[in-house]
Amino acid sequence: MRRLLFVVAALVGCTSGARPTCDYSPADLMFDDTWVCNRDNPLGVCDRTATYPKAAIHDALIASPDHKAFLKDTGSCLMAEDDIYSYRGDDYFYWNVCKPTKNFVKTIVVQNTMCYVMEPQQLYYATCGDPTSRLGNRCRLGYTFLPNYYCVQSGYTKRKVLVFCPKLLPKCQYHEVTLPSTCSCKGFFCGVSPKIL
């Protein structure tokens, strides 16, 4: 009977020192970016060789003063801002353990066709981690990392942008997108509650 209990305990992982196993996948937390044209797009509607149609957009804005006013009012609101990731003061020093990479969006997919984000708007989303580094997307603590702590996309922001769609009517359209604007360090634990420091 004792041997049977030992075998059952070993099979279900209840022996002393056994811990549950689970895998964290960064892809599980990535937002859906299939609508972004300047990345690999499975829809096949994006033309990477296309240039910004400045003259056509100028003509469209002349015919639509409301859209021109929207660009004037909101263009500066959607400009890229420089973030402070590190600071050295007289008494202290800090840096962000999850520095995001800004990916600027120039073209998007709307109704299965390619549209241009109208300038001067600068639309971007953040990606986390460095695939070329040994740390990958783990939270950077100097030259090392803590197990189970990863940099994940955060700071999701809904934005209303004006896009120009040459193949649609009307050509100037408002479009709402939700994008991650930064990265945060999050702890991932499987089947156990983390110890609070």
Residue 38 lies in a domain: no
Eight-class DSSP state of 24: -
- Name residues whose C-beta falls within 8 Å of residue 1's C-beta, 6 or more positions apart in sequence: none
Residue 91 lies in a domain: yes
**Is pLDDT at 13 greater than 70 in this prediction?**
no
Between 37 and 51, whose confidence is greater?
Answer: 51
Residue 73 CA to residue 197 CA, distance in Å, equals: 46
Residue 17 lies in a domain: no
**Is pLDDT at 135 greater than 90 in this prediction?**
no
Residue 16 CA to residue 29 CA, distance in Å, equals: 33
Domain that holds residue 136: 52-187
Residue 14 lies in a domain: no
Residue 43 pLDDT grade (very low, low, confident, very high; cuts 50, 70, 90): low
Residue 46 lies in a domain: no
| CA 88 to each of CA 2, 143, 161, 165: distance values in angstroms, whole numbers, following the listed order | 62, 18, 37, 46
Residue 121 lies in a domain: yes
Query: Which residue is it, tokens 């964290």?
Result: 24
Residue-by-residue DSSP string for 91-151: S-EEE-SS--EEEEE-EEEETTEEEEEPTT--EEEEE-SBTTSTTBTB--BTTB--TTEEE
- In angstroms and rounded to an integer, the radius of gyration of the C-alpha atoms of the chain is 24
Residue 170 lies in a domain: yes
The amino acid that residue 168 corresponds to is L
SS3 content of the chain, % helix, strand, coil (to 5): 15, 30, 50
Query: Which residue is it, tokens 């006013």?
Result: 69
Work out the angle at residue 72's Cα, subtended by the Cα atoms of residues 119 and 103, and round it to the nearest 5 degrees: 35
Give mean pLDDT, residues 160-178. Answer: 94
Task: Give the per-residue pLDDT at 73.
Answer: 83
Residue 197 lies in a domain: no
Residue 137 pLDDT grade (very low, low, confident, very high; cuts 50, 70, 90): confident
Eight-class DSSP state of 19: -
How many domains does one find in the chain?
1
Inter-residue contact 85 to 126 (CB < 8 Å): no
**Is pLDDT at 4 greater than 50 in this prediction?**
no
